[in-house]
Structure 1
Amino acid sequence: MRKTNNYPFVLVHGYLCWGNDDRINDICPLFGMWNGSAKTALLDAGYIADTPSVGMFSGMWDRACELYAFIKGGRVDYGKVHSKRNGHERFGKTYPGYVPNWGELDENGKIQKINLIGHSFGGPTVRTLIHLLAEGSEIERQGTDPDDLSDLFKGGKVKWVHSCTTLAGTHNGVTLPEQIQRAVKPLAFTIFSLAPLTSGTWFSKVYGFHLDRFGLSSQTKHVGWDPTLLLHYVNLKEDNIHWELSREGAKELTKDYTVYDNIYYFSYYGVRTAKNKKGGQSGTKDMWLPMRPFAWMTGNFKRKTIGDEWMPNDGLVNIPAAHHPFKDPWQDFDPANIKPGIWNVMPQEYKDHTSYMGVLEDKEVYAQFFRDIADRVTDLPVIE
C-alpha cells in the first residue's frame, strides 16, 4: 500500500526511564538498550523519530506539558492553576521544537500531525497529551488571563495527532502500588533524597531526576537537601507518579479521557508468567531476571476487588492494565479492518515489560518491530 504520510514519531518512556536529555541514553538508549536503538532503526528506514526526556518521576500532566513543549517548541508551562495547587514552579525548560510546524498547514493545505508511541507510563502520558490537545483545561482557562494561557490548555487541537500506540501501557493502573502501599512513601522519600544529593554533579547529567520545579533537582547547580520539600512531593496525591500508577489514581485522573475519530489507536501487551503450584503466577525462565520478583508479587496478589485475571503480567504490568483503557471501545487487531476512534488491540505477546525496551530481544527483530509500527500507521488514510 502506498504511504499516505511521513509524520514524525515521538517515543515516550515510562517510570524510572530516560530520553535524549540524559547522557545514559547515548550509551544505552531506552528504546533499544544494549540491542540497538528503535530511533536509529526508524531513521535508517526513512522515518522521522525522536525519544524525548520527560520527568521519570513526574505525573502524567507534567509529563504531557513537557512533551508538548518538546514537540512544538517553547518554554514548558505546567499551568498557573495546576502549579499553584501542587506547590511547584509554573515554568520549566525551553525547547527549540522537534516539530515546530506541528499543527500548522503545509504547502498542500494539510495539517502537520505526529505519531505518538508510549511505553509503560508513557501510555497514560501520550493519552494525557491527546486529551489536553483536544479538550484543553477548563480549570486553567478559568484561572488564567487569556493572554497568559498556554496554547495547550485552549484545546481544539485533536487533529494534530495521527496515531497513538501504547506498549505495555499502564492504562488502568497496576496492582503493585496497592501491594506495597505502606512502603511506597518511605521508598519514594529515599529515592527522591538522591535528587538534591546528586544535583549539579555528573550523575545528574547522566540520569536526571527532572524535579527542578519542586526545588529537588538540577543538572547545573547544587540543590540543598530539604526534608520539607521532599515530604511535600512524596505526600502529593495528584502530580505524584506513584499514586497515578495505582488503579485508583489511573481511574481518577483519566476518567474524562476518551478516544477521537480522527486518531488510530493501537495497544501492545505481553505476558511472561505462568501458573504456579499455589494458584498464582510466577515469571517464566525466559523473563529477565530482575523482573521475576515483581512478577511473583504481582502474580500472587489478590483482594476482593482484584480477581484472578489480574495475576498474569509482564513483570510489572497486569494484563487488564495494559490491554486497553476500560471505558474506551476496542476490537481485536485485524490488519484488514483497522479503525480509527477505537483501540485496535494486538494479540498477546510472549514478552516481559522490558522486552519493549529491547532487553533480551534480537537486535534485528526489535528494530523490525518498530519499523512495522511505522509502516502500518503511515499506510493508513489521514483523517483531517
Structure 2
Amino acid sequence: MIRFWIASLQLAELFVSSLVHMLYGFYIFSSAVAGDLSQALNETFFKPNTNFEVKHESPTETTTTTVNADNLPPIVLVHGIFGFGKGRLGGLSYFAGAEKKDERVLVPDLGSLTSIYDRARELFYYLKGGQVDYGEEHSKACGHSQFGRVYEQGHYPEWDEDHPIQFVGHSAGAQVVRVLQQMLADKEFKGFENTNENWVLSITSLSGAFNGTTRTYLDGMQPEDGRRMKPICLLQLCRLGVIIYDWFDIPWLKAYYNFGFDHFNMSWKKAGIWGLLDCLLGNAGPFASGDWILPDLTIQGSLRLNSHLHTFPNTYYFSYATKRTKKIFGVTVPSGILGIHPLLFIRVLQVSQWRHPPDVSPPYKGYRDEDWQDNDGALNTISMTHPRLPIEHPNRFVANDSDCQPLEPGIWYYKIVEGDHILFIVNRERAGVQFDLVYDSIFERCRKHVFRKTRPTLPNQTHQ
C-alpha cells in the first residue's frame, strides 16, 4: 500500500511537471528548467553585497555615500506569463539566481495566467499586506470573488512616497508594474488614499510586453479583436488543462505550482460537476470573461491598457529589448541556430513570417507587418523597447551605457540585446557572461538612483 501511494504521488508530480513544462514550451520555458535545478541548490553561487556606494550627482559636484543594505529600498523582480515566485516548483529560481546578487531583493509569486490587472492588485497587497482586493466593479464584471489571498504581513509594509520601490519586470511583468504605478497614481486601493506614482522609483524591463505580440495570434487569439480564441488552437488545449487542474484543486500540487485562478472558485468543492462543465463549455471562468493574460498580450489588448497608462516625470525607466532575427536579402529570419533554445527557434521563424490577415482590419492606423517581424520567439522587438501605442512615450536609444549618464527620469532608455525571450531567466548557463553583465548593470543602476533627485513636478508628457 505504501508503495502504491508513493507511486501515485510520483505519477501526480510527473503529471503537473509535464503540464507546466508543456505550457512553458508554448511560450517561454521548456527543458531549460532542468538545467537550473542544480543551481537552485547552490546557495553560494552568487556573493551578495551588504554595502553599496551610492553616488549623488549634481552639475557641480559628485559625492559618494556608503549606505547599509537594511536602509535600501527593495528591488522587486516581477515574473512574466507562466512564471512563478520564490518557493514554487521545488525552489527553482525564475530569475536564475539573480536575486542573490543583492541583499534587498523580493520575488513575489503572482498569478501565472491571471490578467495584468489582477496581477497588479496582487502585487500591491504582497508588498503592503492585507487581503487582496480586486475591486468590486471589476470583480462583478469578470465573474470572480472580490477578495483573494491574505498577506498577514506585507513584504515591505513601510512602502510609500518616502520609501519607494524599484521594480524589474520580465515580459508581462513589466506591464504589470506599469499598471500598478497607474493604480497608485489614481489612488485605486481602498483604504490607501495617500498613494501616488512616486511610490515607484524605477522600472527596469527585461523583454517587456509593452505593445503586445503577434505571437498571440499564432497560438490562437483572434486577430479581429484580440479578445476571443479560435475554436481549435494551442490555447484551447491550455484552457482545458488549466480548468481541469484548478477543478481538482489538490493542495500540495497547488503549492507546487498555481495558475492563480483561485478567486474564480473553479475547484470541485465550490463549482461541482456542473461548474466544471460550464467552464469547459466556455460559459464561466476566466477564459469566458476574458480576465486572463492572453487578451492583454494581443496588440489590441495592449492598446486598451496603454490608453490610460502614463510615463511619470519622477520615475526612472530602462528597457532591454531582445532580438533573435536578421535580414537576408530583405527576408527576416532567425539570426542563427546556436544560442537559441530549440523550441524558440521555431517560434522565432514563425513570428518573423506571420502576416496580418488581409481581410481583417489592422489593430491600429499605420500598422505594417514588416515593423513586427524582428522578435525573440515570444515578443516582437518593436513591442519591447518602450510604450509606443497608441501614443509614443519619451524614449532614447542606448548603444553604450555612457549614453545615459546621468540617467534622467521620465524617459524610457532602451537597449537592444541579441538573445531569445528566456535569455535572462530560468537557466543562467545559456546567457553566460552576458547574464551577469546585465543584472550587475541593473542592480548598480538601481542603487545609484536609490534617492530621487529633487526636481519640480512636470505635467505628464505622454497623455493630456
TM-score (structure 1 length as normaliser): 0.84
Where structure 2 has 5 or more consecutive residues not aligned to the other structure, the ranges are 1-52, 57-66, 222-229, 359-366, 455-464
Question: What is the RMSD computed on CA atoms of the aligned residues?
Answer: 2.4
Tell me the SS of whatever aligns to 1:357.
coil
Verify: 1:331 aligned to 2:396, yes or no.
yes
Q: Residues 68-217 of structure 1 correspond to what in structure 2 (within 5 A)?
A: 68-95=124-151, 96-103=153-160, 111-137=162-188, 150-151=190-191, 154=193, 156-179=195-218, 180-181=220-221, 182=230, 183=233, 186-216=236-266
Measure the CA separation in 1 of the matches of 2:113 and 2:385. Answer: 23
Q: Is the 8 A contact 1:172 1:325 kept in 2?
A: yes
Deviates further, 66-75 or 355-364: 355-364
Summarize deviations over 1:307-326 as a string: whole Å, max 9, x none: 21211111111011101100
AA aligned opposite 1:133: L
Q: Residues 1-384 of structure 1 correspond to what in structure 2 (within 5 A)?
A: 2-3=54-55, 6-22=72-88, 24=89, 26=91, 28-32=92-96, 37-43=97-103, 48-95=104-151, 96-103=153-160, 111-137=162-188, 150-151=190-191, 154=193, 156-179=195-218, 180-181=220-221, 182=230, 183=233, 186-216=236-266, 224=272, 226-230=276-280, 231=282, 232=284, 233-237=286-290, 239-275=291-327, 279-282=331-334, 284-285=336-337, 286-303=339-356, 305-326=367-388, 327=391, 328-333=393-398, 334-346=403-415, 348-359=416-427, 360-362=429-431, 365-380=434-449, 381-383=451-453
Where structure 1 has 5 or more consecutive residues not aligned to the other structure, the ranges are 105-110, 138-148
Measure the CA separation in 2 of the matches of 1:215 and 1:278. Answer: 51
Measure the CA separation in 2 of the matches of 1:94 and 1:244. Answer: 26
Measure the CA separation in 2 of the matches of 1:73 and 1:173. Answer: 31
Tell me the SS of whatever aligns to 2:93.
coil
The higher relative CO (CA closer than 8 Å, separation ≥ 6) is in 1
Summarize deviations over 1:145-167 as a string: whole Å, max 9, x none: xxxx6246x47421211101111
Measure the CA separation in 2 of the matches of 1:259 and 1:350. Answer: 26
TM-aligned CA deviation for residue 40 of structure 1: 1.2
TM-score (structure 2 length as normaliser): 0.71
AA aligned opposite 1:260: F
Tell me the SS of whatever aligns to 1:61.
helix
AA aligned opposite 2:160: G
Summarize deviations over 1:154-190 as a string: whole Å, max 9, x none: 4742121110111101100000122333226523422
Count of residues in Structure 1 that have an aligned counterpart in Structure 2: 352
Distance 1:68 1:21, change over 3 A: farther
Distance 1:224 1:354, change over 3 A: farther
Measure the CA separation in 2 of the matches of 1:257 and 1:199. Answer: 36
AA aligned opposite 2:94: L
Measure the CA separation in 2 of the matches of 1:101 and 1:264. Answer: 21
Measure the CA separation in 2 of the matches of 1:309 and 1:115. Answer: 31
Q: Is the 8 A contact 1:42 1:370 kept in 2?
A: no
Summarize deviations over 1:343-363 as a string: whole Å, max 9, x none: 0112x1111100121534356
Measure the CA separation in 1 of the matches of 2:404 and 2:329. Answer: 38
Distance 1:93 1:355, change over 3 A: same
Q: Is the 8 A contact 1:21 1:52 kept in 2?
A: no
Measure the CA separation in 2 of the matches of 1:190 and 1:283. Answer: 35
Summarize deviations over 1:62-91 as a string: whole Å, max 9, x none: 000100001111111101111111110011
AA aligned opposite 2:75: F
What is the percentage of aligned positions where both structures have the same residue?
Answer: 27
Q: Is the 8 A contact 1:177 1:184 kept in 2?
A: no
AA aligned opposite 1:70: Y
Q: Is the 8 A contact 1:173 1:245 kept in 2?
A: yes
Structure with bigger gyration radius: 2
